[in-house]
Structure 1
Amino acid sequence: MTTQQIILSLVLATMVFSVALELRLDDFRRVAQTPRAVICGLIPQFILLPVGTWLATLALDLPPNVEAAMILVAACPGGSLSNVITHFGRGNTALSVSVSAVAALMALVLTPFNFSWMVASNPVTASWLRTLSIDASEIWISLLLLLAIPMALGLAFGHRLPLLTARIQKPLANFSLMALLAFIVVGLIKERQLLTLGLLSTLLIVIVHNASGLFFGWATSKAMGVSVRDRRAVMIEGGMQNSGLALGIIAVQFNSDLGMVTIASLWGIWHIVSGLACAYFWRWQDGRARKGEPQHA
């Protein structure tokens, strides 16, 4: 792991800790009592986005490595960043955390399975078929260090030190937002060689692909009749894939193919932009609602 990755991991763990300060165990108990919402959050990730991506690659005439990268990203679960975005957008953070944890475990089986059948059944990408070897230890370590430990520490801190929590909660939340924006800046600087006019079409593919994940999350939550706060969590979970996991797989098993790296890298930048855009829109909606203005769910 590079120094930059270590720093970003520490920042992400701090963001998860700040989110946990505002959560209580009762929030998770309510989620456990309504497993339908968790299932609702898993459907876009492991069924709708993968199948929708597979159908899109069959219909479009794209280079094999681009289609393979789209399929790989769609097969990956969400990441811890989705919890922070959901919290900032005033969605159900406990639901987001629960979905992320379950999805990370399911990905050990479903990510290789979805990638294999989608690539094999697409004539353009069939030659790119690999038997994906997902490193279980990598997912377990990520789940433990970036989600479970900072979440548990934040919950315990908020429970045992409520006065101190009230003092640091807002400053830490503001820091979290700044750190999130720094993610975008760092990503743009790191991948600046990718952001050329010649790659605008690739960026458009990523934008539409990401938008479809958000749409599938919205459609599933509407169809299953979950609450507005749950709907926000499901949307973000559907539209924020673990592009870091995808990049790791591409590096190890596809020799860092440039086309695949480009798709996954642009995804990693864009899904933060789209996630923040959704969060700001929802906060704006909430502001209008408090003022008594009509809003749309």
Structure 2
Amino acid sequence: MTAQQLVLSLVLATMVFSVALEVKPADFARVATMPRAVVCGLVPQFLLLPVATWAATLVLDLPPSTEAAMILVACCPGGSLSNVVTHFGRGNTALSVSVSAVAALLALFLTPFNFTWMVSTNPATAGWLRTLEIDPSDIWWSLLALLALPMAAGMALAHLRPAAAARLQPPLSRFSLVALAAFIVLGLVRDRALLGPQILPQLAVVVLHNAAGLALGWAAARAFRLGTADRRAVMIEGGMQNAGLALGIIAVQFGADLNMVIIASLWGIWHIVSGMTLAFVWRRQDARHAV
């Protein structure tokens, strides 16, 4: 792990900790009594978006590397960042955390399976077929260090020292907003060599692809007749893919193909923009309704 990755991991763990200060065990108890909502959150990530992406690549005449990257990103479920965005958007944070935890485990099997058969059945990408070998330690590290431990620590502090948690939560929440903005800026700086008019077609692909993920999450939540908070959580889970996992796979198993790197990098930046935009829109809606 590079120094930059370590710093970003610590920031993300802090963000999850700040979210946990407002999450109660009773929230997870309610989710446990409604497994239908968890299943609904998994459907867009492992079924709807991957299949829709695969179908789109069959119709569109895009470079094979772009299509392979789209399929790969669609097959990588969201990480703990989606929990933070859901919390800011006043969605069901406990549901988001539960979906992320289950998705992280399922990704060990379903991400390689989905990618392999989708790429192999597309004539344009069949030559890009690789048997993905996802290192389980990457998944376990993300699940334990970036989600489980900070979530448990935050909930424990809120239970044992509620007054201290109440004082700590506002500044940490503001820090989280700044950190999310920093993710975007750092991503732009890091990938500045890739930015230019020549990437506008790839950016358009990423924006539309991400919009499809959000829309499919919304459609699944509507089909399952979930409430507003649950619907927001499922929508964010459907539209925030683990671009970091995709970049790692591209680096190791596709020789850091430039076109694939551009798609995954743009995803990593854009899904934060779209997710936070939705969160702010939802907060404004709630404020208007409260008035």
Question: Do the two structures share a fold, i.e. TM-score over 0.5?
Answer: yes
Unaligned runs of 5+ in 1: 292-297
User: Deviation at 1:141?
Assistant: 1.0
Residue 204 of structure 2: aligned partner: 204
Task: Note if 1:110 corresponds to 2:137.
Answer: no
Residue 168 of structure 2: aligned partner: 168
Residue 226 of structure 2: aligned partner: 226
Task: State the distance in 1 between where 2:30 and 2:195 align.
Answer: 44
The Cα offsets for residues 199-249 of structure 1, whole Å up to 9 and x where unpaired, read as: 111100000000000000000001110000000000000000000000000
Local SS of the residue matching 2:90: coil
Residue 273 of structure 1: aligned partner: 273
Task: State the distance in 2 between where 1:137 and 1:8 align.
Answer: 18
Local SS of the residue matching 2:110: helix
Unaligned runs of 5+ in 2: none
Residue 15 of structure 2: aligned partner: 15
Local SS of the residue matching 1:112: helix
The Cα offsets for residues 132-160 of structure 1, whole Å up to 9 and x where unpaired, read as: 00101110011100000000000101000
Local SS of the residue matching 1:210: helix
Task: State the distance in 2 between where 1:4 and 1:182 align.
Answer: 12
Task: State the distance in 2 between where 1:5 and 1:200 align.
Answer: 27
Task: State the distance in 1 between where 2:194 and 2:87 align.
Answer: 30
Task: State the distance in 2 between where 1:141 and 1:286 align.
Answer: 35
Residue correspondence of structure 1 range 14-33 to structure 2 within 5 A = 14-33=14-33
Dislocated runs of 4+, deviation >3 Å: none
Residue 131 of structure 1: aligned partner: 131
Residue 90 of structure 1: aligned partner: 90
Task: State the distance in 2 between where 1:70 and 1:253 align.
Answer: 16
Local SS of the residue matching 1:99: helix
Residue 62 of structure 1: aligned partner: 62
User: Deviation at 1:193?
Assistant: 1.4
Task: State the distance in 2 between where 1:155 and 1:132 align.
Answer: 36
Count of residues paired in the alignment: 291
User: Deviation at 1:194?
Assistant: 1.7
Indicate the percent of aligned positions where both proteins have the same amino acid.
Answer: 69
Task: State the distance in 1 between where 2:39 and 2:138 align.
Answer: 24
User: Deviation at 1:88?
Assistant: 0.2
Residue 121 of structure 1: aligned partner: 121
Q: Aligned-residue CA RMSD in angstroms? A: 0.5
TM-score by length of 2: 0.99
Task: State the distance in 2 between where 1:122 and 1:115 align.
Answer: 11
Task: State the distance in 1 between where 2:124 and 2:135 align.
Answer: 27
User: Deviation at 1:108?
Assistant: 0.3
The Cα offsets for residues 72-111 of structure 1, whole Å up to 9 and x where unpaired, read as: 0000011100000000000000000000000000000000
Task: State the distance in 2 between where 1:234 and 1:97 align.
Answer: 11
TM-score by length of 1: 0.97
